[in-house]
Chain A
Amino acid sequence: MNQEEAENCREDMEIDGNEPEMPAQRHADIIPDGFNANYLKAYYGKVFPHSDIFKWMCYGHDGKHPGCDPTYLSRREFSFTLDNDIYLRFQSYTSAYELESSIKEKCPFKIDIGPVYSVNPAKRHAYAQTGDNVFTPVERELIFDVDITDYDDVRFCCSGADICLDCWPLMTVAIKVIDTALRDDFGFNHILWVYSGRRGVHCWVCDGKARRLSNEQRAAITDYFRVYKGNENSNKKVSLVGPVLHPFLARSYTDVLRDFFEGKVLLNQNILSTEEKYEKILEMIPDESVAAELRGKWQEKRKAKDDINVVRWEQLKSLLHSGKFKHIQGLRRCIEEIIFSFTYPRLDMEVSKHMNHLLKAPFCVHPKTGRVCVPIDPNNCEEFDPTAVPTLSQATSARTQHERFES
């Protein structure tokens, strides 16, 4: 497959979604939806963008420029998960042809990309763990993983691996907050966001500066992003101390989180509509007398013109702003804390902190959903619809249609 075909095929994957009626389907055309190992072979044969992945991984060290490091690609770890859960780590390649052939031949269910090591990972046993001649990661993209199951305590429409268009916007918010900070605060430019195929998003920061960050620096960036701390045993999981918020948090709040909460979350998730739900919010208010006053108001069955969630939220806000409770400690940031709890990005800390963490490659197919892990444009992330992402069968059959049309 040449470059042009690869371009065309990617466009096909974005547009294609509704197959027109096909009257006389030939047997080979009836491709089951979801994941199917046989069609994976066709996918890797015709659709997967091998040469683009190769170009990306080379970062310019493709042997065609002076000053290239010919060993660069071969020091990158790839790992394949095959059928039967066979797991091949420390795979390395020295050319585009090798990489492509290996993928087509082995037909992995999942391809992970690891770090660039000091030496070819396939030869790692020849090197020591310590001392001069060491086998250790030297470059690795700064990566982030956001998984919607980490928000299960604040979404009521789905749980576990399910997603829908009511809770997916949490991912949109995560992208906006993190992407803005990566560019404006940290000065990174080469950022790729990818749909994880089922219930989350991945982020790859590819600037040279990012790839050369140490584990400690990665941990520092991750902690900079961290707000949510806690689990079912602590009452308040977001604690915003201090008279004002750090500019990063303040910007995230005013530009993204507040409007998202008041515009979407309140209504889509109906978070104040029933006693069981509003008790969770009341639990986040550190003063019992305030909570009690609100509880009193909300226990009355009132017929409201407007949506009950909006009405109650306004009541909560005006009570906290009223100055009646100004003297009470810890109430100052209560509203922000509630909003942050429901909307602020929750990152998987461990993924980002270590250089040797493997992450699934873009354009893989998710084995449980059959969906292709497609890139997401952060500038248009609100338009992204995870339920309309091409599946393996759609992508492969589109390609097959395309070929037939051409011939």
Chain B
Amino acid sequence: MQSLGTRRVNHQNDAVAVAVAGAASTLPLYRSAPPLEVRLEDFEAFAVDRLRVLKAISDGLSRGKKPEEMKNLVDELLKTHMSHPKPSEAVNKDVISHFVLRLVYCRTEDLRKWFLSMETTLFRYRFKRESAEAQRALMADFNLPYKAVNTAEFESVKDKLGQVARSIGQPLLTADAIFYKVPFEDVPELVAGRRVYIHRGNAYVAMNQVVSLVVTQFRSFLSKALILTNRKWTSSIKEQEKDRLTPIVEVLSTSYLGPDYSQPRESAEISLKDIDHLAKSSFPLCMRHLYDKLKEDHHLKHGGRMQLGLFLKGVGLKLDDALAFWRAEFSQKVGAERFEKEYAYNIRHNYGREGKRTDYTPFSCQKVISSTPGVGDHHGCPFRHFSEENLRAALGGMGVGNRGMDDIIDKVRNRHYQVACTLTFEAVHGSSCDAGINHPNQYFIDSQKILQSKNQPTT
């Protein structure tokens, strides 16, 4: 997307201009980078505005906002950050900002995953806002080959379709309801949520679920495009643009995702003997629970080992101390020999000393909340998974008083798990936490900050 002449190309081939019934859609599909001229200031400014939108979407998701709330949020965000009195200017900004952010977010697996997730969510809500004709046209534009179910077949599966609709709280089927017959592989989200009737490999997708089909295509396309962009970036763009675009691109990614706590700060080293004390004073509930269970059972399953192990790495526990820590607990249950054989390798793997030597990053709240513990597991977010009774007991164990408790439980009931954790932090430390908790390591660092400042000798 270099400056290729001053011609403002009509990239309406990119945004689907639907002639059907005059329903115009300005939802771009970002198929190809438009040959537009962009001023350097706009390059950064447009990207920053879009990033505000994506970051806010990310926050909304991790706070467990319901679909209705997310829809309103997206409407708000687009109005605030991405609008322009002239519609064609708004579309330009939309497209340009997307492609700039592709450069920013193509460069590592984590960045790509995040960007893909947020852009797909944004696309989903924008698609849902479109009229039915516009949606049908967009579907056609994706070249989706699905056929609507004919009347005869509809009669034969009507009961099952009705059953599915009722099971997911949808209104009763009308006689003229349109369903598409789609290979189940093409609608993984709907299959996973048991939101469709499946028979002999075909899923029966309702008109209002069509969004899932389109979103899957969008996501798949963008995922491939990001890989290609990364290749081009690494092979040519980064070097060519080292004095112009590259510095901007590199700053943009770190400033908005927040630190990932993969490299503990130099001063933040903890040793083996500190852990027990720190667990009681500065661990967030999720890690405290894992730690307590580890001490009790002298064992944790894989999910728990990952979540707690990476957290400790982020907190500053060195590899040798980590090995000693896990060995001390596990050998009480499985013996030192089995520990070395079956568990030590994975700990070294987490620190990037084995295998493909990836240095794994500690889990953010979003990741912790989205993992679901199964039988015998203790990871995941306790605010999400504990029963109210168990949660009250656990919070009491952390020192939360009765008054604070009710506020926290209220937040949990409304599925605002991170807010609940923030209130817990405030109750335990007796001070406010304005930024809100987004990452277990952030909880730890903020906690230590407060405790250390309390320990300063008063003169």
Interface residues of A (CB under 8 A from B): 85, 129-131, 150, 152-153, 184-188, 209, 213, 216-217, 219-221, 223-224, 228-231, 233-236, 242-250, 346, 349-350
Contact = CB atoms under 8 A, between A and B. Distances in A.
Nearest to A242: B167
A246 B203 CA distance: 13
B377 to A, nearest CB: 5
Nearest to B289: A233
Given A224-B192, A242-B167, A230 B201 contact: no
A150 B341 CA distance: 24
B194 A244 contact: no
A231 B163 contact: no
A186 B377 contact: no
B264 interface: no
Contacts of B385: 230-231, 233-234
Given A229-B372, A346-B375, A242 B168 contact: yes
7 contacts: A150-B375, A186-B198, A186-B201, A187-B199, A219-B188, A245-B163, A245-B167
Given A131-B231, A223-B192, A153 B163 contact: no
B227 A220 contact: no
Given A233-B385, A235-B387, A221 B191 contact: yes
Contact of B167 (A153, A213, A246): A246
B185 interface: yes
A334 B231 CA distance: 54
Closest 10 CB pairs between A and B? Answer: A187-B201, A220-B188, A223-B192, A187-B200, A220-B192, A242-B167, A235-B387, A220-B191, A185-B198, A246-B194
B121 to A, nearest CB: 16
Given A217-B188, A224-B191, A247-B164, A233 B200 contact: no
Given A184-B200, A187-B200, A247 B231 contact: no
B375 A250 contact: no
A186 B184 contact: yes
A349 B191 CA distance: 15
B438 interface: no
Given A130-B227, A150-B375, A234-B386, A246 B192 contact: no
A187 B201 CA distance: 5
Contact of A247 (B163, B188, B192, B377): B163
B375 A224 contact: no
Looking at B163, B167, B201, the one whose CB has the most chain A CB atoms below 10 A away is B167
A243 B164 CA distance: 10
Nearest to B202: A187
B166 interface: yes
Given A153-B375, A220-B192, A224-B191, 10 more contacts: A130-B230, A187-B199, A188-B201, A219-B188, A223-B191, A230-B373, A235-B387, A242-B167, A245-B167, A246-B164
A332 to B, nearest CB: 12
